[in-house]
């Protein structure tokens, strides 16, 4: 079985381990991505990969790069005609222009197509996006929802076809693994966008109440960067905070290895709530205790392998961090449970296995 997987997320090298795992299952996996993706004004470049890997990559030019709804790949139809996959997997929302045009190319070439959705809030879009969405629903051989909430939204919006709930990507448990313990101050970490909805203000407020020795490491950029710097001058002076810009995906395991706890205190908004929280899975695979809020999918990701606090509750977040600071044994217990959960539920091998089942179902159902 030859499958082409169209995904702008594949510019990140660590996500391509899913292609490696699919290939190990006997699937001829061909990734298709742009040579970079512009997100919030910053360009994420295509990261190099090991040419010895058992999958292929096609890097295509993208039109309207950085525009979530409007971007597309002008040469995709020609490339699909050359590589001739048995199935096309489009890692895009069904209402996006890129998805509609990719499904048109697949239909023209007589191949089934699958789409992916993270949308966990019911929204209706204006023309032409609603028309694209409806057409993709009719054409799809299968749909993959990243969460149960996303599944429910697809059903509520009228998708009646085959549907599976599988995260978009798993975690590479070979690269993300526990590091040997070292003597350091209690270190709280955050990796992600510096934006209000990620609970940055809550995290800073809760951390300030922790007594030394304790340290906060923030990894990422975003609109709140200047605010964070301005309100943490005293913490920087006391060397209790470290802020790093975006780091290559290859460096993330080493960064996580310097942390005792990773926190994702997201706050839901009328038009947004946390869709997954990938950093939590990476931290759990790395043997790092996790704390997350009740926003969106976070409680389902953490399960019983971490601490969950009500979103927006600074006192609860502080108490959770205080308990973890005072109890190395609790941190160790959560680290072990987190690693076990990451391996059994969220490993790239497990996600690839479930995704391969979708491909087989889609091919079995397809009637040209």
Residue 339 and residue 357 share a domain: no
Residue 192 and residue 333 share a domain: yes
Residue 135 and residue 41 share a domain: yes
Query: What crossing angle do the helices spanning 76-83 and 97-109 adopt, rounded to 10°?
Result: 40
Residue 263 and residue 237 share a domain: yes
Residue 359 and residue 338 share a domain: no
What does pTM read for this prediction?
A: 0.91
- The pLDDT tens digits of the residues spanning 224-257 come to 999 999 999 999 889 999 999 878 888 999 999 9
Give the separation between CA 326 and CA 349, rounded to whole angstroms. 36
Residue 121 and residue 9 share a domain: yes
pLDDT confidence of residue 42: 81
Question: Bridge-partner residues for 289, per DSSP?
Answer: 261
Range of 25's domain?
2-170+347-365
Cβ–Cβ < 8 Å for 321, 203: no
Q: Which residues of the chain have pLDDT under 50?
A: none
- The pLDDT tens digits of the residues spanning 284-308 come to 999 999 999 999 999 999 999 999 9
Instruction: Tell me if 321 is assigned to some domain.
Output: yes
DSSP string across 110-131: T--EEEEE---S-----TTHHH
Residue 229 and residue 114 share a domain: no
pLDDT confidence of residue 17: 92
Instruction: Tell me if 62 is assigned to some domain.
Output: yes
Q: How far is CA 87 from CA 75, 105, 170, 363, 368, in A?
A: 18, 12, 21, 7, 12
Give the separation between CA 38 and CA 95, rounded to whole angstroms. 19
Give the separation between CA 265 and CA 292, rounded to whole angstroms. 5
Q: How far is CA 322 from CA 19, 299, 325, in A?
A: 40, 20, 5
Instruction: Tell me if 176 is assigned to some domain.
Output: no
Cβ–Cβ < 8 Å for 348, 127: no
Residue 354 and residue 275 share a domain: no
Residue 134 and residue 16 share a domain: yes
- Report the domain count for the chain: 2
Cβ–Cβ < 8 Å for 182, 328: no
Residue 354 and residue 263 share a domain: no
Residue 341 and residue 192 share a domain: yes
Instruction: Tell me if 179 is assigned to some domain.
Output: no
Residue burial 1-24, b: 16+ Cβ < 10 Å; e: rest: eebbbbbbbbbbbbbbbbbbbbbe
Cβ–Cβ < 8 Å for 96, 131: no
Instruction: Tell me if 177 is assigned to some domain.
Output: no
Task: Kindly report the average pLDDT of the chain as a whole number.
Answer: 95
Residue 341 and residue 193 share a domain: yes
CATH of the domain at 40: 3.40.50.2000
Instruction: Tell me if 228 is assigned to some domain.
Output: yes
Instruction: Tell me if 291 is assigned to some domain.
Output: yes
Instruction: Tell me if 116 is assigned to some domain.
Output: yes
Q: Strand, coil or helix: what is 2?
A: strand
DSSP string across 141-165: SEEEESSHHHHHHHHHTT--S-EEE
Give the separation between CA 344 and CA 341, rounded to whole angstroms. 5
- The pLDDT tens digits of the residues spanning 346-359 come to 999 999 999 999 99
């Amino acid at each position: 079985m030859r499958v082409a997987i169209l995904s702008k997320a594949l510019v990140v090298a660590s996500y391509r381990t899913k292609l490696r795992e699919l290939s190990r299952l006997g699937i001829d996996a061909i990734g298709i991505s742009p040579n970079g993706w512009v997100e919030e004004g910053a360009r994420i470049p295509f990261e190099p990969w090991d040419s010895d890997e058992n999958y292929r990559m096609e890097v295509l030019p993208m039109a309207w790069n950085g525009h979530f709804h409007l971007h597309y790949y002008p040469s995709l139809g020609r490339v699909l005609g050359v590589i001739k996959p048995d199935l096309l997997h489009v890692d895009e929302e069904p209402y996006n222009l890129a998805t509609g045009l990719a499904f048109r190319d697949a239909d023209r070439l007589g191949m089934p197509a699958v789409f992916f959705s993270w949308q966990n809030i019911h929204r209706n879009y204006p023309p032409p996006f609603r028309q694209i969405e409806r057409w993709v629903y009719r054409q799809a051989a299968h749909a993959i929802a990243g969460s149960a909430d996303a599944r429910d939204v697809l059903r509520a919006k009228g998708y009646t076809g085959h549907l599976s709930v599988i995260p978009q990507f798993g975690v590479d448990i070979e690269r993300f693994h526990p590091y040997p313990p070292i003597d350091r101050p209690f270190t709280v970490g955050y990796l992600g966008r510096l934006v209000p909805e990620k609970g940055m203000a809550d995290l800073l407020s809760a951390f300030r109440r922790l007594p030394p020795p304790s340290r906060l490491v923030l990894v990422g950029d975003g609109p709140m960067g200047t605010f964070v710097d301005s309100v943490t001058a005293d913490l920087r002076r006391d060397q209790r905070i470290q802020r790093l810009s975006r780091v290559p995906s290859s460096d993330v395991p080493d960064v996580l290895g310097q942390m005792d706890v990773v926190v994702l205190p997201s706050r839901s908004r009328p038009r947004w709530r946390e869709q997954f929280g990938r950093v939590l899975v990476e931290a759990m695979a790395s043997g790092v205790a996790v704390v997350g809020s009740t926003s969106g999918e976070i409680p389902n990701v953490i399960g019983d392998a971490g601490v969950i606090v009500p979103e927006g509750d600074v006192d609860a977040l502080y108490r959770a961090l205080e308990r973890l600071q005072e109890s190395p044994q609790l941190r160790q217990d959560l680290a072990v449970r987190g690693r076990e959960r990451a391996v059994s539920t969220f490993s790239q091998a497990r996600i690839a296995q479930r995704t391969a089942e979708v491909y087989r179902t889609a091919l079995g159902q397809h009637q040209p």
